[in-house]
Amino acid sequence: MESEALTGTSKVSLNVEYMPIDDVEKLERYCPGGYCPTTIGERLNNRYHVVHKLGVGSYSTVWLARDQEAGKYVSIKIAIASSEVAGSQESSILHRLLVADSEAGTHPGRPLISPILDEFTLSSPNGIHRCFVTVPGMMNLAEAKDASYIRLFQLPVARAIVAQLVQAVAFLHSRGIVHADLHAGNVLIRLPGAIDALLPEQLYKRFGQPRYEPVVRLDNRPLQDNIPSHIVVPIWLGKESENISLTEAQIILTDFGESFAPGNTMRYYSNTPDVLIPPEVYFEPQETLSFPADIWTLACTIWTVLGQSPLFEGFNPSVDWVLKEHVDTLGKLPEQWWLKWDSRNRWFNEDGSRHHGAYRRPWAQRFEDSVQKPRQESNMPEVGQEEKLALFAMLKAMLDFQPKERPTAREVMECEWMRTWALPELLKIRENQI
C-alpha cells in the first residue's frame, strides 16, 4: 500500500511498504507528519520512563510510562506530527472542562474526565509531536467485550457504567462542550491504583514481557530513521467484560479530538462510527450539530453496554443501510425526511412497513436478541419488566428522530431508570471507596 505523509494540507507519496504485522499500528504511517518512533526504555521529557505500549489510533500511539517523580504509572498519548492543530484543540477543550470553579467542582461527572497531568512536545524525524500525560486505563469497553466470548457485562456493572457515562456527558454539556465521538472505544475502565506499587519488572512478571516484532521493508532496503527497527505489540491489562466486578466498574471518558463548543464552532459533519451517526447529519446538512447529536450517540452506547451487540448494525455500511437500520428499529422517518430519502423503496412501503415477506427487526426484537436472550443463555439475570419499561422510555426519547425533541443530558440523569436502577449501583461503588 502506498503511504502518504500528512504534512499540513499536502500529501507526499512515499511508496514504502512493510511486511504486515497483526495488532499494531499501520507501519506506513511512520512517515513525515506521522507517528513518532518510540521504544520501551526511553525517558520522555526527562521524567517519564516508557514501560510498554497501551494502544494505537489513527492519530496517535499511547504508551504506559512510569512517572519517576510521582512514582506512579501514567498514560502518554503521542500524536502524529501533522495533528498539531487537533492536539491543541483537544488540550484547549480539556482545560476548559477542568477549570476550577464551584459549579464544575461539585458536578458528579467532573471526576470522570481524565485531567491532563502534563503536556510537552517531542521532536522526531517525522516532525514535532504533542504529548499528553493522563491517568491510564485498564482497557476500553469495546476491548473488554472483544475479549469475552459472551460479550456481556454483569447487569449491576452495566448499570453503573451507564450511570457514570450519563453523568460525564451531562458534565460536558454543562460546560458547553459536545463530545462528538461517543462510543464504547472511548470509555476506559480505570486501572486500579494498586498497580502503582509494581516496579516495571514486577509488571512484566504479572502481565508478560514486551513482545517485539521486527520491521521489514518489502523491497528489502534498509529502514530509515523515521521508523523503529522493532514494533511493540500492545500490553493487555484488562479482563473479559463479564469478569469486571462492580468495584472495578469505574470509568474515564476519553478522546476529545472531535469535541467542540457549539457556542463558537459551527459543525456540519460527524466523524463518529457510521452506525452511530444521528440522522440529522444526512437530512439537515445545513444545520449545525449540537448537544442532541451527543444524546443520540449516548443512547447507542448505552445499548452497547447493556447488550451483546449494537443497536444499529452494519459492516462499513452505506448511508442508506444506516437509515434502513433506523427505520427498521424505530419506525418511519419524519415525513419531510422520508420523502427526501430516495432509497426508501428498496426496503419499505410508503407507510414505513417492510415489503411483503421482508425480515424486520424492530426495537423489541433487538432487545430480546441482544440483551435478554444472551443473558439468559449465560445464566445472567435478565432486565426485569418494570426496569425494561423505564429503560425503553429513556432510550426511545433519546433516539427521537427530531433533535429538538430529545431530552437534555441533565434530563437523562434525572429519568426514572437512572434514579431507580443505575444510580443505586453507582452509589454502591462510591460507598466502598469511603
Domain CATH code at residue 98: 3.30.200.20
Q: Which candidate, 4, 35, 12, places its Cα nearest to that of 130?
A: 35
- Is the residue at 60 inside a domain? yes
- Is the residue at 9 inside a domain? no
Q: What pLDDT band is residue 193 in, cutting at 50, 70 and 90?
A: confident
Residue at 108: amino acid letter: P
Q: Are the beta carbons of 356 and 335 closer than 8 angstroms?
A: no
Q: What is the pLDDT of residue 357?
A: 75
Asked if 270 and 166 sit in the same domain, the reply is yes
Q: Could you report the per-residue pLDDT of 395-407, keeping only the tens digit for each?
A: 999 999 999 999 9
Asked if 187 and 54 sit in the same domain, the reply is no
Distance CA 380, CA 236 (A): 26
Number of domains present in the structure of the chain = 2
Asked if 48 and 170 sit in the same domain, the reply is no
Query: Of 168, 201, 236, at which residue does a domain stop?
Result: 236
- Is the residue at 277 inside a domain? yes
Domain residues for the domain of 419 are 137-191+239-433
Q: What pLDDT band is residue 87 in, cutting at 50, 70 and 90?
A: low
Domain CATH code at residue 393: 1.10.510.10
396's grid cell: 426511545
Q: Could you report the per-residue pLDDT of 314-346, keeping only the tens digit for each?
A: 999 999 999 999 999 999 999 999 999 999 999
- Is the residue at 61 inside a domain? yes
- Is the residue at 285 inside a domain? yes
Q: Could you report the per-residue pLDDT of 247-264, keeping only the tens digit for each?
A: 999 999 998 889 999 999
Asked if 261 and 361 sit in the same domain, the reply is yes
Q: What is the pLDDT of residue 3?
A: 41
Asked if 178 and 32 sit in the same domain, the reply is no
- Please state, in angstroms and as integers, the Cα–Cα distance from residue 106 to each residue in 25, 102, 103, 300, 419, following that order: 39, 6, 6, 28, 19
Query: Of 206, 236, 266, at which residue does a domain stop?
Result: 236
Asked if 147 and 46 sit in the same domain, the reply is no
- Is the residue at 10 inside a domain? no
- Is the residue at 11 inside a domain? no
- Please state, in angstroms and as integers, the Cα–Cα distance from residue 130 to each residue in 26, 28, 37, 48, following that order: 19, 20, 13, 15
Asked if 249 and 330 sit in the same domain, the reply is yes
Q: What is the pLDDT of residue 2?
A: 38
Q: What is the pLDDT of residue 102?
A: 52
Asked if 290 and 421 sit in the same domain, the reply is yes
Q: What pLDDT band is residue 10 in, cutting at 50, 70 and 90?
A: very low
- Is the residue at 46 inside a domain? yes
Distance CA 359, CA 347 (A): 10
Provide the whole-model pTM. Answer: 0.90
Asked if 361 and 302 sit in the same domain, the reply is yes
The three-state (H, E, C) secondary structure of the chain, written as one string: CCCEEEECCEEEECCCCECCCCCCCCHHHCCCCCCCCCCCCCEECCCEEEEEEEEECCCEEEEEEEECCCCEEEEEEEECHHHHHHHHHHHHHHHHHCCCCHHHHHCCCHHHECCCCEEEEEEECCEEEEEEEECCEEEEHHHHHHCCCCCCCCHHHHHHHHHHHHHHHHHHHHCCCECCCCCHHHEEEECCHHHHHCCHHHHHHHHCCCEEEECCECCCCCCCCCCCCEEEECCCCCCCHHHCCCCCCCEEECCCCCCECCCCCCCCCCCCCHHHCCCHHHHCCCCCCCHHHHHHHHHHHHHHHHCCCCCCCCCCCCHHHHHHHHHHHHCCCCHHHHHHCHHHHHCECCCCCECCCCCCCCHHHHHHHHHHHHHHHCCCCCCCHHHHHHHHHHHHHHCCCCHHHCCCHHHHHCCHHHHHHHHHHHHHHHHHHC
> At CA 373, angle to CA 248 and CA 358, rounded to 5?
130
Q: Could you report the per-residue pLDDT of 283-304, keeping only the tens digit for each?
A: 999 999 999 999 999 999 999 9
Distance CA 101, CA 117 (A): 18
Among 91-105, 155-169, 183-197, the least confident range: 91-105
> At CA 24, angle to CA 151 and CA 142, rounded to 5?
20
Burial class (CB in 10 A: 0-12, 13-18, 19+), 202: exposed
Asked if 149 and 208 sit in the same domain, the reply is no
Q: What is the pLDDT of residue 1?
A: 35
Asked if 57 and 157 sit in the same domain, the reply is no
Asked if 146 and 126 sit in the same domain, the reply is no
